[in-house]
Amino acid sequence: MATEIQTSDPAASAARTTRGTLPVPFQALLFAWISGVIYAAFFVAPPVKGLGPTTKVLYFHVPLFWVGAIALILTGIYSGIYLKTRRIEWDTKAAAAAELGLLFCVLGTMMGSMWARVQWGAWWNWDPKQTSILMLILLYGAYFVLRSSIESRPSRAALGAVYAILAVVAVPLLMRIIPYYLKGLHPNPVVEGTIDPEIRRMLMAAWAGFLGLYVWMFRQRVAVGRFEDQKEGVE
Amino acid sequence: MKPPEPRTRFTWETDVKRKTKDEVHSASRTPHSALFSKTWAVFRREARTELRSRYALNSIGMFALITLMVVGISSTGANVPHRTHAGLLWLILLFSAMTGLARVFVRETESRTQDALRLTADPTALFFGKALFNAALLLGLQAIVAPLYILMTSLPVRDFVLFLTIQIAGNLGLTVASTILAALVAKAGGRNALFPVLALPILLPLLMALVGGTYAALAPDGKIVAGVGLVPNPIESRQTAWEAGATYVRMAFAFIGMLGPASYLLFDFIWSED
């Protein structure tokens, strides 16, 4: 029988409302951290040689993509767990991760495009990294098209999971194996070794901030998804 | 239960049943031959069904010929860069394939035979049989389109071995990706229009490898450009075809090697879905 949302028990429904969101102190910390990152990116961080004042974009563009890529791999992992356990909450998590991953990648691409316009002269250059990110965005767009075309929730979950896993198999191909041959316009891995430790620290701080942002948004989204599942009587 | 009436027309179910009985009693047959014979039975059934209605053959064939004509008309005499030719060839092959490769599974949904299939068929044999059929269909397509394209545009292919290797890699890669996605689309409501939407993003890295490899197999046209797609290394005129094209061949086979096992492993999840 479908579970009904109990509105009569205030304690339980209050618990349900806050379950899944970050505790308030963490949210405050996250807010402060990101504010600090933004401030530091604009006013404190030294410019990278050759990039000049556009260095600021580095602290947003790169972490957005790192977190976006992690989110997309998480989609694959959650999908795999769903196929193994057949518990619908994992499919909710997979969809949430894919949505956020897509959002972060699109934002990162927009920033990258702006940066490319300034640095390399054109909004889009078909540089290998740019191309591979575009493919990634298309993959996840297709994932959502597939999901929206299936009515039955369990089928949507299972078939979406299969597609997500196929896409994740393609992702390391795009992100790792192919750029291995890469000598494009993109600078060599900025973090591995050769750069100013202060910049690396800033980058790590920015990355931590965006990861926190992702975790917070993810938990919110999963909580909403869980409510929707309960309402539909699936859970 | 009454045994089925003897049929005058060949049906693959009875064929498989006959063979299964033989295997049980024959000590010389290994289990693997069972898989081969079942796979072959599935392939033959697909071929017969297709030859009966010729739906996929017609749609693929007409699409390919029409696009070939358009490309041929628009490129005669024009100084089309060779890289563009490589891209156009694979465009024709890819989109022709998209019109017809989903048919193997979508047909089961449309004609409501998939329940019977689920009851009687070994999923592994089914997967490989249909994949084999897709590969054969593609092979037929490539055998017609590629030579016609070369003739129509007077394409200067400097290394046919590389060209053929790329065509084979393309065949395998397209088959591997499209069979699993056809099954997915068939389960997701059987709408043919969904198939290109799902297939194209996954095929993009393969396509770049194929276009790059084909470009490397063509005579250099004096336009030294940054490499193709995801590989930025320029293809220079002093390189031999294989020197330039090896990276792309590797990429294509990497794609096949990764997606092949993945699609085989994932097929069960799709096939057993309601």
List CB contacts (< 8 A) between A185 and chain B: 232
List CB contacts (< 8 A) between A155 and chain B: 187-188, 273-274
* pLDDT tier at A191, thresholds 50, 70, 90: very low
* pLDDT tier at A196, thresholds 50, 70, 90: confident
Interface residues of B toward A, Cβ cutoff 8 Å, are 180-181, 184, 187-189, 191, 194, 197-198, 200-202, 204-205, 208, 226, 229-233, 247, 251, 254-255, 258-259, 262-263, 266, 269-270, 273-274
pTM: 0.82
C-alpha distance from B187 to closest chain A C-alpha (Å): 8
User: Distance from CA of residue A212 to its chain's centroid?
Assistant: 11
- Collapsing DSSP to helix, strand or coil, B218 comes out as strand
Mean per-residue pLDDT over chain B, rounded? 84
A163: pLDDT strictly greater than 80: yes
- Collapsing DSSP to helix, strand or coil, B157 comes out as strand
Closest Cα in chain A to B183: A159
DSSP string covering B97-141: HHHHTTHHHHHHHHTT-HHHHHHHS-HHHHHHHHHHHHHHHHHHH
> Angle at CA A133, nearest 5°, toward A128 and A137?
150
**Token representation of residue A213:** 């942002």
List CB contacts (< 8 A) between A138 and chain B: 200-201, 204
Given an 8 Å threshold on Cβ–Cβ distance, is A83 in contact with B269? yes
What letter would DSSP give residue B238?
A: T
B28: pLDDT strictly greater than 70: no
Given an 8 Å threshold on Cβ–Cβ distance, is A183 in contact with B200? no
The span from the CA of A171 to the CA of A102, in Å, is 13
Q: Are B155 and B191 in contact (CB under 8 A)?
A: no
What letter would DSSP give residue B220?
A: P
**Token representation of residue B262:** 């993945």
Given an 8 Å threshold on Cβ–Cβ distance, is A149 in contact with B229? no
User: Distance from CA of residue B172 to its chain's centroid?
Assistant: 6
List CB contacts (< 8 A) between B249 and chain A: none
* pLDDT tier at B112, thresholds 50, 70, 90: confident
B48-70 average pLDDT score = 89
* pLDDT tier at A169, thresholds 50, 70, 90: confident
pLDDT at B20: 52
pLDDT at B13: 56
Q: Does A150 touch chain B (CB under 8 A)?
A: yes
pLDDT, tens digit (0-9, with 9 covering 90-100), for A10-44 = 555 555 555 667 788 888 888 898 998 888 888 87
pLDDT at A197: 77
Which residues partner with B218 through β-bridges?
A: B157
Of the partner residues A132, A150, A170, the one whose CB lies closest to the CB of residue B188: A150
pLDDT at A140: 87
pLDDT, tens digit (0-9, with 9 covering 90-100), for A44-87 = 777 766 667 777 888 888 899 889 888 988 999 999 999 999 99
C-alpha distance from B51 to closest chain A C-alpha (Å): 31
List CB contacts (< 8 A) between B229 and chain A: 126, 128, 131
What sections of chain A are H helices per DSSP?
A: 10-18, 24-39, 55-85, 88-119, 128-148, 153-172, 178-180, 197-232
Most confident segment among A126-140, B3-17, B37-51, B220-234 = B37-51
Report which of B208, B209, B141, B134 is spatially closest to residue B176, judged by C-alpha positions: B134
Burial of A76 (0-12, 13-18, 19+ CB in 10 A): buried
The span from the CA of A32 to the CA of B12, in Å, is 68
**Token representation of residue A137:** 């965005």
ipTM value for the complex: 0.80
pLDDT at B130: 93
Given an 8 Å threshold on Cβ–Cβ distance, is B205 in contact with A170? yes
C-alpha distance from A72 to closest chain B C-alpha (Å): 14
C-alpha distance from B117 to closest chain A C-alpha (Å): 19
Which residues partner with B157 through β-bridges?
A: B218
Please give the C-alpha separations between residue A221 and each of A65, A95, A100, B7, B129, in angstroms, as whole numbers: 20, 9, 9, 58, 42
C-alpha distance from B25 to closest chain A C-alpha (Å): 37
List CB contacts (< 8 A) between A86 and chain B: none
C-alpha distance from A185 to closest chain B C-alpha (Å): 9
Q: Are A65 and A108 in contact (CB under 8 A)?
A: yes
Q: What percent of chain B has pLDDT over 70?
A: 82
Of the partner residues B181, B208, B262, the one whose CB lies closest to the CB of residue A169: B262
pLDDT, tens digit (0-9, with 9 covering 90-100), for A85-103 = 999 999 999 999 999 999 9
Q: Does A191 touch chain B (CB under 8 A)?
A: no
Of A225-234, B151-160, B196-205, B263-272, the range with the lowest mean pLDDT is: A225-234
List CB contacts (< 8 A) between B245 and chain A: none
Of the partner residues B202, B232, B274, the one whose CB lies closest to the CB of residue A128: B232
Phi, psi values for residue B86, rounded to 5°: -60, -45
B122: pLDDT strictly greater than 70: yes
List CB contacts (< 8 A) between A181 and chain B: 230-233, 247, 251
Given an 8 Å threshold on Cβ–Cβ distance, is A166 in contact with B266? yes
Q: Are A133 and A109 in contact (CB under 8 A)?
A: yes
List CB contacts (< 8 A) between A126 and chain B: 229
**Token representation of residue B161:** 């071995």
Of the partner residues A141, A158, A173, the one whose CB lies closest to the CB of residue B273: A158
Of the partner residues A139, A163, A183, the one whose CB lies closest to the CB of residue B232: A183
The span from the CA of A52 to the CA of B70, in Å, is 49
Given an 8 Å threshold on Cβ–Cβ distance, is A182 in contact with B247? no
C-alpha distance from A84 to closest chain B C-alpha (Å): 10
Of A28-32, A184-188, B36-40, B55-59, the range with the lowest mean pLDDT is: A184-188
pLDDT at A185: 45
Within 8 A by CB and 6+ apart from A65, the residues are A104, A105, A108, A112, A133
Mean per-residue pLDDT over chain A, rounded? 81
B143: pLDDT strictly greater than 90: yes
Q: Does A173 touch chain B (CB under 8 A)?
A: yes
Answer with the residue of higher pLDDT: B112 or B137: B137
Interface of A with B in 94-133 (CB under 8 A): 126-128, 131-132
Query: How many residues does the structure list for chain B?
Result: 274
* pLDDT tier at B128, thresholds 50, 70, 90: very high
Within 8 A by CB and 6+ apart from A90, the residues are A78, A79, A81, A82
pLDDT, tens digit (0-9, with 9 covering 90-100), for B60-76 = 899 999 999 999 888 88
Q: Which residues of B204-218 are buried (b: 16+ CB within 10 A; e: fewer)?
A: bbbbbbbbbbbbbbb
Amino acid at B75: S
A184: pLDDT strictly greater than 70: no
Neighbours of B188 (CB within 10 A): 27
